[in-house]
Structure 1
């Protein structure tokens, strides 16, 4: 898998699919989720709440990934990745498992390009470097060969921190 690091707005980086941050209640309430709600209105929120209702649950477990449409955003679909628990706690292991599951879903949907923000680093407790450590092992995963993943961060400082963490984790592996 090829990883590209880019500074900007993840909702403006076209790709086949977007892996978005998500909370266990699938509420589009802040961060990237709030930006999705602002950009497309309530349709995706309604779709996510319908998912919960169909399954007879009020929340999904940490590590879950739920697919929705993308509205007018430059993606074919959004994969809402829950890399936090109900208390907004997380770990490198949970982020790695969640991103792995989301990438597998993206491949099954025919994706060649994926965009995503860093998971569990805004409302979650992880640093940008922790996120880099989480995703670094996925670069060499054979099942993701041919996939291009663009990780979008807000600042050049975060871009540099993420690049350093991914490189360091890959050297240690």
Structure 2
């Protein structure tokens, strides 16, 4: 059974095998967690993501996609760039759940037994807290095979409190 934790703080400071980052459909690390990742660990992740798109003849990936890359100089074994928003930053609890599911399965397949995860759709995405909590509730209800620890990190203290309350009730 997966143990859930909530951190009010910087996602990149969480110790874990895998990192589940929020990403935009064009896979540009222009802000948020992706921008912070590039500043901290350098441009190699962005280079790999652009190669991923170019090799497939794509300009964007579909909403719900998780693109898994190596750690690129970070302490993480693998990094899932999880696209839970559309090109206009819209999303829904269903899309967020689909994206978390795809990303956690991919990270588990890469051997990540612990995952540090962003709160998808809650930064630049316009997901109301109630919708996000609905997706997390559904995610918790379905155990994640081969993942022992899942940590959600947010800089939004109110959201962190709501998530802690949700987890204690499950």
Distance 2:166 2:90 in 1: 21
Tell me if the contact between 2:19 and 2:117 (Cα under 8 Å) persists in the aligned partners.
yes
1:155 Cα offset (Å): 4.3
- CA distance 1:143–1:19, shift in 2 (3 Å): closer
Distance 1:145 1:51 in 2: 27
Q: Secondary structure at the match of 1:5?
A: strand
Where structure 1 has 5 or more consecutive residues not aligned to the other structure, the ranges are none
Deviations 1:43-86 (A, max 9, x none): 10000000000101111000000011222322111100000011
Tell me if the contact between 2:79 and 2:107 (Cα under 8 Å) persists in the aligned partners.
no
1:14 Cα offset (Å): 1.3
- CA distance 1:66–1:145, shift in 2 (3 Å): closer
Partner of 1:119: 120
Partner of 1:102: 103
How big is the alpha-carbon RMSD for the aligned residues of Structure 1 and Structure 2? 1.7
Tell me if the contact between 1:117 and 1:152 (Cα under 8 Å) persists in the aligned partners.
yes
Distance 2:59 2:147 in 1: 36
TM-score, length basis structure 2? 0.91
Residue 73 of structure 1 pairs with residue 74 of structure 2: yes
Distance 2:90 2:157 in 1: 26
Distance 1:53 1:146 in 2: 32
Where structure 2 has 5 or more consecutive residues not aligned to the other structure, the ranges are none
Distance 1:49 1:114 in 2: 24
Partner of 1:21: 22
1:145 Cα offset (Å): 6.1
Partner of 2:53: 52
Aligned residues: 169
TM-score, length basis structure 1? 0.90
1:24 Cα offset (Å): 0.4
Distance 1:49 1:17 in 2: 21
